[in-house]
Structures are given as C-alpha cells and as structure tokens.
Structure 1
Amino acid sequence: MQRRLIASVLLGHYLSAFTALGIPLYLPRILADLAPDAPLWSIGVLFVLPTLCTALAAPLWGRLADRHGCRLSLLRAHLGLCAGFLLAGFSPNLALFVLALVIQGTFGGAMAASNAYLATQLDKDGLARALNWTQYSARLAMISGPILLGLLTAQGLGLELYRWLAPLPLLAFALVLPLPADRPRRPARAAGSATTNIRLPGDLQRLLAVQFLFSFAMVVTFPYFVPYGEGLGIANDALLGLLYSLPHGVYLLALPWAQRRAANPLGVGLALLALGNALQFAIVQPEPLLALRLLSGAGMLLAFVGLHRCLSQRSRQGGAGRLFGWYDASGKWAGTVAGVSAGLLSQGYGIASPFLVACVAACAALLLARPLVACPRELPA
C-alpha cells in the first residue's frame, strides 16, 4: 500500500513538473506569436513570474495545509497548474497570458505539496528517500520536458502547447484523489499556555539559508551556460545541450547509490559543488568541461541527499505543510534572485562570472550547514 501511495505521488509530481518545467524554454517563440512587439526583457520577466508567485504563496499554502490537510493541498496544486495552463492556452492577448502565469505560480507548487503529503504518510527514513525521488522526478522532467516539447514546437506549435499540456496535471489530480487523507492538526492552545501544538524546528532559519544558497549556486549558472560554452569554443548545439544537462543526468543515474550512504553527505556535496564551479570559472579551454560538469553533478546529488536527510529529521506530522512550504519558498526565491543576478553578473563582469559567485555561495552554504549535520534534530510529536 505504501509503495502504491509513493508511486502515485511521484508519478503525479512528474506529470506536473513536466508541464511546468518543460515549456519555459520555448517562451521566446510563444511570446513572438502572442505579442510580437513585446520588448526583449519581457521574456526574462515572464520566465521568473510563476516562480516568484510560488515563492510568495508557498508559506500560506503550507499553513492552510496544516489546518485542512496536506492531501487537499496537493490536489489544489495539481488543479491550480491545470487551470493556469488552460487559461494560457486560450489567451487572446498578453495581459490574459500574464494572468495565467500568475495563477500557475500562485495556485501550483506541486513539489512542496507532494513532499508535505509524503511527510504525513512516511517515517523519517522513508521520507528522506521519498524526498530524493521527488527531486529525481523534477530532474527527469527538466531533461525530458524540453526534448519532447521540442518535437512539438518543430511541428509549428506555440501557444497551443499550453492546451496540450493542461491534461497532465489533471491526470496527476486523478492519481492523488483516491489516496488516504491525512489528519490535519489544528493549532489548539494548551490550557494556560500561549503555545500551540504545531512547532517548527528551532534551526529552521539555518536550514532555509543553506537551501537558499545551494539553490542559488545551482541556478545562477544556468541562464548563460550556452554563451559560456560558446566562449570556450564549443560550437555544437547538441554538445552544449548535453553538457548543460549532465549534472541532472548524474542525479538520475547515481541516486540509488548516493542515498545508501550512512553518513550525511551534505558537506561533501557542497564542497564538490564549490570546487566544480571554481574550476569552471577558471578554465579557458573546453577539454576539462565534461569532467567538471560531472563533478558539479556529483556535488549537486550529494548536497540534495544531505539536505533531504536534514529535512526529514526535522519534519513532524502536523507541521509538514508549513515546513515544506517555507523550504520550497526559499528555493524559489533563490531561483528568482539567481536569474536576475546571472544577467547582471554576465553583463558587468563577463560570461564566466556566475560560476565564481556560485562557488562563493556554495562555500557559504558549507559553513552554515555544519551544525545541521552535526546536530540532527527531530521534534517530538
């Protein structure tokens, strides 16, 4: 029964992640069809708009999930994504399309909702493994989405892609609907006490800071990777695409090995990520890039596994919605800041500069993470 529950949640998450992560790459083409006169900078704004809305809304949805149930919140996330994509697919103008992206980001958030629901159904060790697999489904969607949707855009599809993708989160909704509902824990006050029976970990701010810095270190190198590779002399688009996706491929292939490690690999992962980014900033020839992308992928994988272990040690039924809501919001804010920073850094300090900043962010995360690994914490129920 538990395997079936996990499989349903993970498949549903993959369908929604495929929907949300596959299409942003083709925003320039969609915007050219919908609003040909839109300025070039509007592509970047539309790219981060759903992420920004998710970052703003995730803590609120997390609080509501604790009050009314995490499964209900997960159903809301799938339906919200479906509604946003339907509206986008039938948008006659840019204003309505922007509203659709706001709905997609505000009422979506399947990652946090999936993780929070799993936290109400699994024990600590089972949850740590499940968190690794939800990230696995996100990485798989990040690789498969652009490839498969590229086949559709090659047939001339543009805005219609949103209509084609809208049924996928609806299917995810159908997968989650028969799963057992969790019991929401309402914050009833104890007699003579001002405290509630839902408490978040005392070191939550440190955990969120590590998550922010780690996410920033990953994302800040994404937007300008293609011109970075071209600057090293790589002219083959297929090779650039392979090198770009290689860290995600490492995650997909090596996760079963990494999550069997007894010790928490968070520190090792952040150190490898910092080293990989520093070397990518320093190289002037393309030959070492393949090995350095593999090194960065190993760092990303081990850091994710370690973070998920820290998160599962601090999760508790009744506060899962808020915990995962804040955790997801931290990553989304990092992605938003990283996207803006990448443009400013590349314009002002060169196309390789985001790798140096990513190294600094990973080093800062490493310093902050040491107490998290040394003193795992699990609040009593």
Structure 2
Amino acid sequence: MSTAAAERTVTVPAPAGLDRRQVHAIAACYFVASFAALGLPPFLTQILPGLGDADGSWAGVLYIVPTVFSGLGAPLWGRLADRFGRKRLLLRAQLGLTVSFLIAGWADSLPAFTVALVLQGFLGGTFAATNGYLAAALEGPGLSKALTLMQGSARASLVAAPILVGALSPWISPHRQYLVMAVLPLLAAGLLALLPEPSRPVRPSTAGQQPATVVPGSLKLLYTVEFAFVFSTIISFPYLVALVEQKLPGVSGTVTGLLFALPHLCYLAAAGRVHARFLERPRTGLAIGFAFVALGLAAHGPASSLLTFTLARLLLGIGLTLGLVCLSVLAAEACRGRAPGRMFGSLEFVSKGGAVAAGVVAALVNSAFGPTAPVLAGTATALVAAALVLLSRRSN
C-alpha cells in the first residue's frame, strides 16, 4: 500500500452497538422490573387499611407519589449516566427498585410505606435509564424501533401485572407481594450485568471528508407534545371504572378490566407495523394519533352500551399506538448529537409532569362535573396538540 493510500485510510473499529437479542433482553428486564410498580398501586385501597388508614383515604395521593419523585429524580440520574456510564446507572435503577420494594413490603405504618414509595420513585426511574442506555448504543431507526419495543414492554406489564397481583391475592396479600416482587428487578439487574457498556458503532470515513452534519430534532416540540400526549391519555384512567359503572350498570369486573386494557392491547398488536409505516413521517402520524385520541375520548361520553364503549376504547387505542410510536421516532431524532442520559432524563421529567397534571385535573373536574368531565378535558387537550403538530409540519 502506498504512503498516500495509507494516509487516506482510517481504521474502523468493529461495530459496538447492541444486537437484536440484547435489545430484547433489555425489554424483558424492563417488563419484569415494572410488575410491582404497575401492578400493585391499583390495590392501595386494600393495602392501606392494614397500615392504619382504615378508609384508604390516602390512596389517591400515594398513587402519584412514585410518579412525582421519579420525575424529580430523572434529570439528575440522566446527567450522572452521561458522566459515569449508562449501564452503571441502569443497574442502579433496578437495584433501587429492589430496595424500595423490600422496604414497602416490610413497612408496618403509613409513614414507612410512604417513604418506600418516595424511594421507589427517586431510586427507580428504570424507563429513562433504559432509554438512555439504548440511545448510547443505537441511533435513527434502530433506536426508534427499540424505544417502540420498550413501550410495548410497558404496555404488556400494565396489562398483565394487575391480573397476576389479583390472582396471588388469596394466598399473599398485596402488601406482602412487594417482598415477592422485589426479586424481579434483582433478577433484571443480574441479567443487565452481563450486557456491555453501550457505545455507538463508528462508521467508515476517509481523510479529507467533512463529517456529516447532525441536525437533531426539536427538543421544544418533543417536550411539548410528550406532555400533551401523556396528559390527554392518562386523564381518563383514574375515573374510568366509575364511568364504566355509570354507563354500563351491572357489568362485571372482568369486563371493566378488559375495557381498561383494550388500548394497551391495541399497541401490542400494531406498534411494529405503525413504526414501519410512519418512520419517515412521525409528525403526520402523531397528528393523526392526537386526532384519534380526541375522537376516542369524546366517544366515551355518549357511549351507552358495551359495543359503543368498546369502539370508544378501540379508537383511543389507535391514537395511543400512533402517538407512542411516533413520539419514539421523534425522541430518536432529537437524541442525535445530544447526551442521551440528560435528554431522556428531562423527557421523563416532562412525561411524569404530564401524568401528575392529568391526575390533579381529573380529580378536580370529576369532583365538579362528574366522571365524564376528565375525558372531555383530554379531548380538548388532544385537539389543541394535533393542531400544534400540524403547524410544526408546515413550518419545516
């Protein structure tokens, strides 16, 4: 090889990204670690009487305690992940859940249990930590597909966890199930310890070529639509059971549970195909998603039969799927050229803020106007957000 040729040649390290099996292992870890976090809060009204709150009056407040402290802690943990390593901080999140679940399971008073929930939120944050880990190893379509898979893992856990907790309740009280569930994030940490510290593959380049300009997506738009999407979808959750009982008197608890789970089942069934369809046009997909969310929520009001209520939940499920997938694509675009831990920590803060705001507004409007009011508030928010996304498309 000539000297000139040698000067033009740049050594290319072997790719250092994550393969498909590793991404699936990470999704499995997030799924099992989410079981207690998502499956046990619906049973707070059964847990609290044994801790001195006879009427379970603190259930509503304690339900959002982990969410609040997860959002507050996420930016800090994200910055530390960028500085000290994403794998290390992801392991910290899993072990933090283990410790908090053990404390919750052994708590014998309401203050001790509250401390456990605070620690669960602050020491956990596995979703932001997982996304930061993935974003340090993947980019573009590979990252957005992995983020879509993580959302699928969360949806599957949200559907399956309450069913498992309810099935175990005759033998182990929901309170003591925290001790059993503590094993799951511990197992996840053990599996994650076998995975590599993430780093993106280095692409071939030649001397004299200018590096490609990285144009990251808009953080302002991402944070705005993330807040609006979480708010508009979560606001219907707290009082959905009351709305179903009002609209469909005498319906069984099993049917109510299936209606609650239906939008998440839609995501599990269609997320992969939606990702392929809207990968190149996420803003279009997001605007359509907001429109379906608005349509689905609005349809909850006049629904007066099991069929019409099911159709309303399916419409919401279509919007949920389109929105979550396209938000994953926008997040992957925004992550280009940015520190992933910090960005996903901030995104988690915004997301949790939307969830807390949804819970507060739902409680206020439900108290003032009844269980139909939260879905109407979500409808209005989704329509405004859809218009905002359409305007952002025209400006680019």
Structure 1-normalised TM-score?
0.90
**Alignment correspondent of 2:90:** 74
Equivalent-residue separation in structure 2 for 1:360 and 1:219 (angstroms): 14
**Is residue 157 of structure 2 the alignment partner of residue 141 of structure 1?**
yes
8 A Cα contact 1:89 1:161, kept in partner: yes
Residue 116 (str. 1) matches residue 132 (str. 2): yes
Residue 229 in 1 paired to residue 249 in 2? no
AA of the residue aligned to 2:71: A
CA deviations over 1:86-121 (Å, ceiling 9, x no partner): 111111222211111111100101111111100111
Partner of 2:32: 15
Distance, in Å, in 2 between the alignment partners of 1:202 and 1:6 is 24
CA contact (8 A) 2:217 2:330 kept: no
Residue segments in structure 1 that go unaligned for 5+ positions in a row: 185-198, 377-381
Instruction: Tell me, yes or no, if the aligned pair for 2:40 and 2:174 is still in contact at 8 Å.
Output: no
SS at match of 2:32: helix
In the other structure, the counterpart of 1:196 is none
Write the deviation string for residues 309-331 of structure 1: whole angstroms up to 9, x where unpaired: 11111113651001111111111
Deviation at 1:178, TM superposition (A): 1.5
Deviation at 1:52, TM superposition (A): 0.3
Q: Give the length in aligned residue pairs.
A: 361
TM-score (norm 2): 0.87
Go from structure 1 to structure 2 and tell me whether the alpha carbon gap of 1:375 and 1:259 turns closer, same or farther (over 3 Å shift).
Answer: farther
What SS does the corresponding residue of 2:276 show, helix, strand or coil? coil
CA contact (8 A) 2:86 2:132 kept: yes
1:207 and 2:227 aligned: no
Which amino acid letter does the alignment assign opposite residue 223 of structure 1?
P
Secondary structure, counterpart of 1:89 in structure 2 = helix
Give the Cα separation in 1 of the matches to 2:196 and 2:50: 44
1:359-374 correspondence to structure 2 within 5 Å: 359-370=379-390
Which residue of 1 is the match for residue 13 of structure 2? Answer: none
Q: How does 1:167-206 map to 2 (within 5 A)?
A: 167-182=183-198, 203-206=218-221
Which residue identity is paired with 1:176?
L
> After the TM superposition, which of the residue ranges 199-208 and 87-96 deviates more from structure 2?
199-208
> Which residue in the other structure is 2:205 paired with?
none
Displacement of 1:302 after TM fit? Answer: 0.5
Structure 1 residue aligned with 2:4: none
Cα deviation for residue 173 of structure 1 reads: 0.5
| Aligned with 1:94 (options 106, 110, 131) | 110
Which residue of structure 2 lines up, in the alignment, with residue 131 of structure 1? 147
**Identity among equivalent pairs (%):** 37
Q: Secondary structure at the match of 1:32?
A: helix
SS in structure 1 at match of 2:237? coil
Residue from 367, 371, 374 that aligns with 1:351 = 371
CA contact 2:49–2:56 (8 Å) conserved in 1: no
Deviations 1:315-352 (A, max 9, x none): 13651001111111111111111112111111101210
Change (3 A) 1:290 1:95: same
- Runs of at least 5 residues in structure 2 that lack an aligned partner in the other structure: 1-17, 201-213
Q: Give the equivalent residue in structure 2 for 1:33.
A: 50
Asked if the contact 2:216/2:336 (under 8 Å) is kept, the reply is no
Please state if 1:218 is matched with 2:233: yes
Whether the 8 Å contact between 1:229 and 1:286 is mirrored in structure 2 is no
Query: Could you list the runs of 4 or more consecutive aligned residues of structure 1 that deviate by over 3 angstroms after TM superposition?
Result: 199-202, 282-287, 370-376
Contact 2:366 2:373 in 1 (8 A): yes
